[in-house]
Amino acid sequence: MLRTPNLVRDRASENCLFHGSDFSRGRFQVNSPHVAHETIDGETIAIDLETGNYYSLENVASDIWLAVAAQLSFSQIVDELETRYDGNRKEIEEKTIQFVKQLQQENLIVVTYKSKADGDLSLLSPILPSKSAFESPRLNKYDDMQDLLLLDPIHEVQEERGWPNLKTES
C-alpha cells in the first residue's frame, strides 16, 4: 500500500509561543523524550512517541530541523539557511517562521530557555559548494503506523533506567 503524506498546514498562530519579531530572539529544541528523530541521506524522520504520528522532512525542512536540534537561535537558523540557499532574507525568514510554527503546533519542538551562546554547528549537514534555490520547507505527516508505534512496549519504561524496566504505577 502506497503511503501518502498529510501535508501539515499552518494553523492559527495564537497557539505559538513566539510571534513576529520575537522569533529573532527565540531558541527551540526537539521535544525530547517524546520525539525521536534521525537524519539519513538528507531526510529527517521524526516520530512523536505520544501520538504515533511520524513526519518526513527533506531539504530545507531537514536543515531547519537539524538547526533546531543543534539549538541554534532563530536568527542563527536564518543565517545558516541564507548561507546554504539562494533567496532573499525576508522570504527565508517568513517561510522559516511558518515552518517553526508548524513544528510547534505538532508538538515536535519546544521553546528552550537554556542559555547557549552558539548552537552545536557540528550537527548540521555539510554546506554544498553551490547554493540551491530556497524552497518553502514542507512537513509531511503520516499516521498509518500509529497503532504499531503506540503498541511498542518500549514507551512504557522508566525514563531514568530505560528498557527493559517497565513503569510501575505509583
Spatial separation of the C-alpha atoms in residues 138 and 134, rounded to whole Å: 12
Rounded CA Rg of the chain: 17
pLDDT tens, position by position, 24-59: 567 899 998 899 999 999 899 999 989 999 999 999
Cell numbers representing residue 137 in the block: 520547507
The low-confidence residues of the chain, meaning pLDDT below 50, are 1-21, 164, 166
Task: Cite the DSSP H helix spans in the chain.
Answer: 60-69, 74-84, 89-105, 146-151
Contact 28, 102 (CB under 8 A): no
Q: Return the pLDDT at 138.
A: 97
Q: Could you give the domains of the chain? A: 25-142 (3.90.930)
Question: What's the pLDDT at 53?
Answer: 95
**pLDDT of res. 156:** 55
